[in-house]
């Protein structure tokens, strides 16, 4: 029996006589010398770049890892090659945004001392720096719009309302005395900005005979305590006055969406379409 010497040569890619030196099939891929699995050139293409391992794609974890490693080594990701540590925060811009807080605290310090001297000014600045360093307040992302003309109109309205409301409260106190009737009036809230709401509350506190009791953000309501509700129609008058005040504040400091919403709410209150009512208490 003759021995079958036909074997499969993996390097030649097809069956053939052992040692006859012929290629088993045309066009078979032949690895160059020194490119075996254990050689140092394995996994390197002709351009010299590291080739991805078999089965690794750009979307696979292996492919992404190789891209990150290659970018870190060559600096192709826009960052210098290194240990990948993030850059230190830019303290300059952060400190500049704290300047208004420091100035506001310094102004409060000078007002508390009621003297405008270099010592109080410097002391106020030092106190402002110390307070902002020990108790840093969060920086609000929203920016107040700059409407100087609307702000001047708001100031003029507050001065006028201060005089009118002062005379009205004085007459109610002199005529009715302890029998003067007061009540709580519910009003629609037209803005969600913290600073606009705070300005509205402060402006209402400047008006004699009224102040804000509660802000209900969930129901978009704010409740005002008012004095002098003894006459018929006094509740409607208070609601119109407070909505006018809110419109002035929103026009000066609110966003465009708040301005449109406030105008609709003022028109609804003037027409009596709003559902909130004032509850008077003796």
Q: Where are the domains of the chain?
A: 93-134, 148-281
Residue 68 is predicted with a pLDDT of 54
pLDDT at residue 180 above 90?
no
Mean pLDDT score of the chain: 73
Q: What is the pTM of this model?
A: 0.53
Residue range 27-32: mean pLDDT, rounded: 45
Show the 3-state SS of the chain: CCCCCEEEECCCCEEEECCCCCCCCCCCCCCCCCCCCCCCCCCECCCCCECCCCCCCCCCHHHHHHHHHHHHHHCCCCCCCCCCCCCCCCHHHHHHCCHHHHHHHHHHHHHHHCCCCHHHHHHHHHHHHHHHHHCCCCCCCCCCCCCHHHHHHHHHHHHHHHHHHHHHHHHHHHHHHHHCCEEEEEEECCCCCHHHHHHHHHHHHHCCCEEEEEEECCCCEEEEEEECCCCCCHHHHHHHHHHHHHHHHHHHHCCHHHHHHHHHHHHHHHCCCCCCCCEEEC
More confident residue, 75 or 92: 92
Residue 251 is predicted with a pLDDT of 93
């Amino acid at each position: 029996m003759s021995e079958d010497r036909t074997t499969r040569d993996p390097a030649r890619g097809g069956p053939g006589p052992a040692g006859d030196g012929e290629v088993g099939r045309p066009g078979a891929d032949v690895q160059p010398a020194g490119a075996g699995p254990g050689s140092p050139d394995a996994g390197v293409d002709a351009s010299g770049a590291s080739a991805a391992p078999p089965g690794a794609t750009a979307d696979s974890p292996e492919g992404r890892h190789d891209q990150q490693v290659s970018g870190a080594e060559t600096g192709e990701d826009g960052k210098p090659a290194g240990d990948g540590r993030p850059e230190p925060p830019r303290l300059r811009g952060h400190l500049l945004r704290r300047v208004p807080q420091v100035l506001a605290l310094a102004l409060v310090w000078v007002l508390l001392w009621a003297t405008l001297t270099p010592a109080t000014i410097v002391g106020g600045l030092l106190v402002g720096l110390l307070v902002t360093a020990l108790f840093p307040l969060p920086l609000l992302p929203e920016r107040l719009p700059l409407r100087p003309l609307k702000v001047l109109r708001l100031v003029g309205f507050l001065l006028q309302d201060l005089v009118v409301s002062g005379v009205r409260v004085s007459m109610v106190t002199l005529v009715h005395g302890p029998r003067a009737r007061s009540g709580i009036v519910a009003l629609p809230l037209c803005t969600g900005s913290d600073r606009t709401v705070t300005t509205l509350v402060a402006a209402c506190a400047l008006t004699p005979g009224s102040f804000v009791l509660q802000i209900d953000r969930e129901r978009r309501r704010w409740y005002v305590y008012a004095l002098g509700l003894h006459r018929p129609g006094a509740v409607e008058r208070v609601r119109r006055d407070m909505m006018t005040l809110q419109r002035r504040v929103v026009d000066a400091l609110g966003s465009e969406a708040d301005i449109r919403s406030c105008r609709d709410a003022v028109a609804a209150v003037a027409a009596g379409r709003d559902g909130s009512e004032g509850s008077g208490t003796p």
